[in-house]
Amino acid sequence: MNKSVNKSVILLFTLLAGMSLTAAPSLAETGAKTYTVKKHHKPQTRKHYRKAAAKESSNLVVRSASALVLDQSTGTVLYEKNAGAVLPIASITKLMTAMVTLDEKPNLEEMLSIGEDDVDTLKGTHSRLSVGTQLTREEMLRLALMSSENRAASSLANHYPGGREAFIAAMNHKAQALGLQDTRFSDPTGLTAANVSSARDLVKMVAAAHQYPLIREFTTTTEYAVKIAGRQQAFHNTNSLVKSSAWDIGLSKTGFINEAGKCLVMQAWLNNKPTIIVLLDSLGKLTRIADANRIKRWVEHTALAHATTSNSNSPGRLRLPTAGAGVGVGVGVGVLALRPTAG
């Protein structure tokens, strides 16, 4: 009797165990997550950050033929590519045109006229400022800087004391005063390929131009309307980045002729530091803009890594012009890092 009961009990437990194994779903069937226990890693050391910085630096790809990125507050070169190459600079020229104009302390409300001498016969470029158009000197300056208006820039030179030749001589004299060894000017517009400079010179020119409040304002204005032949006409900034909320730009200038390619210079705040970017001879319509955005991301992403490395790892330093070094405005070094304000 007992043996029979024991056999029945054993049989019952065997059946129940089999049912349990058959009914129990697998982890894969239920979708339950599996976890892997990872070993604890020590925090990264300064050595690791140095390696990360070097890796980020090597990952920065700039398509422009010549480029330079400078920490404006220290003069430290953050990145350079063929920075010593002497190249045509196209309408980047107009920054010098503006400085020479303002150094004369002219009457900005004086009316200037577009003349036959202001018409581009070299490249045949179009302009909405027809011969006979009258604007104030300030409006001519604004359109030359914001919209890269060639006839406006030419008019500024032709209405300079001594005329166009005296103006061009003043441009070259100022370039020498600023220590621009690779820079030569033959006209006030940049339409000629004879206007040349290097990225290393242009960071100095941008730093000098940034000390002029009107140049800062006019080069970063997104659009402006003037009355021409009795009608209001809107002009727009040639640099689309000035409209971007992702950028804090203190100065901007674009340039293009076939010999120079697409060019762009900017003073902007990257990682809360004043930075100058120079991009020369970019191929393609958007290459210079893409390069600028790549540089911005690179500077911001590598800020922590660079903060842990010594300055000896940077390509070098450049001495920027200050008041008294060919800069015709009464400001000091502090203005070099002046963040733009509203208005």
Are the beta carbons of 324 and 103 closer than 8 angstroms?
A: no
Nearest CA-CA partner of 312 in 59, 76, 87: 76
Q: How far is 92 from 165, CA to CA, in rounded Å?
A: 19
**Residue 317 host element (H or E):** strand 316-317
From 64, 127, 147, 148, the catalytic residue? 148
Nearest CA-CA partner of 103 in 331, 320, 265, 326: 326
What is the 8-class DSSP label of residue 84? T
From 64, 66, 81, 91, the catalytic residue? 91
Q: Is 123 a catalytic residue?
A: no
**Residue 30 host element (H or E):** helix 27-30
Q: How far is 178 from 78, CA to CA, in rounded Å?
A: 22
Rounded to 10°, the helix 213-220/93-103 angle is 140
Coil, strand or helix: which one is 254? strand
From 81, 94, 253, 262, the catalytic residue? 94
Q: Is 94 a catalytic residue?
A: yes
Task: Give the active site residues.
Answer: 91, 94, 148
